Amino acid sequence: MPTILLRAEPGDRPPDVLLVEDPEDAERAASFLDGGQGRSNLISDHRGLPSFSGRWSGHPVTIQTTGLGAPAVAMVVEELLMIGARRFVRVAPAMAVAPRLRLGGTIVVLAASATDGTSRTLLGRQQVAPVGDFALADALVQAAQAAGVDVDVGSVATVDVLPDAVQRAELAAHGVLAADLGTAPLFVLAARGDARRPPDGARIRAAALLWIDQLATVEGSRPDDPGPEGLLRIALDVLSGPQASGCLSAKVDAGR
């Protein structure tokens, strides 16, 4: 029986998923796949959330539009988990909170404060910090650096309404880099799904790669700004590569 929102069924798409907010970004990413958009497969466009499947460097991937906001991200991710998705990389815009960030700056997210209503509802009364998968985050850093893109690595706050000046100052004082509209529920649901997987099941992993498209107090842009297109390519590289790459992952594994 297909899911309600995506009309998705088990086995109808690859388990490695690139998540984007905007249908135009989904179409753009599909055009990058092996053979171009003509060789990709439009799986569904139900409720204006197009999803594509195809291959990047020979590896099967899914490109899924989530729409805007934490409730939409949560519903999409829940349905993808129901049908067998196992790895997620979210590529989306964010609003700068840390004063040093510039337009076009890139963030690899380690943790996402659950300041949105959806994530708080999912977490109940548990005061936990939604975090992404280290191996995927490390792979994103390595892939970005290989592409000549300098990245900030740290935490963001997922919000329902973009913060005002007072709220930005409070978040920045706690080390938050930016505010976004959907990373926390992705991390919450991926962690929950991974905790519930059978012992012989594949790990469920999630990461986020954000670009700064809104500034509050600082002007100027990064000279190495890769733009959304560059970040989509970086994310596809990571989804098509090994689950753990780079020296940091090796160090963590060696210390276990």
pLDDT in tens, 22-73: 999 999 999 999 988 788 999 999 999 999 999 999 999 999 999 999 999 9
SS3 state at 201: coil
Classify the phi-psi angles of 48: left when phi > 0, otherwise alpha if psi is within -120 to 50, otherwise beta.
left
Give residue 125's pLDDT: 79
CA dist 196 and 67 (Å) reads: 27
Q: Indicate the angle between helix axes 134-146 and 227-239, nearest 10 degrees.
A: 130
Global confidence as pTM: 0.91
Give residue 249's pLDDT: 39
Residue with tokens 């590289």: 237
Residues of the chain with pLDDT below 50 are: 217-218, 221, 244-256
Which among 81, 79, 113, 80 is positioned nearest to 94, based on CA atoms? 113
CATH class (in words) of the domain with range 16-214+224-245: alpha beta
- Sign of the dihedral through C-alpha 94, 98, 99, 104: negative
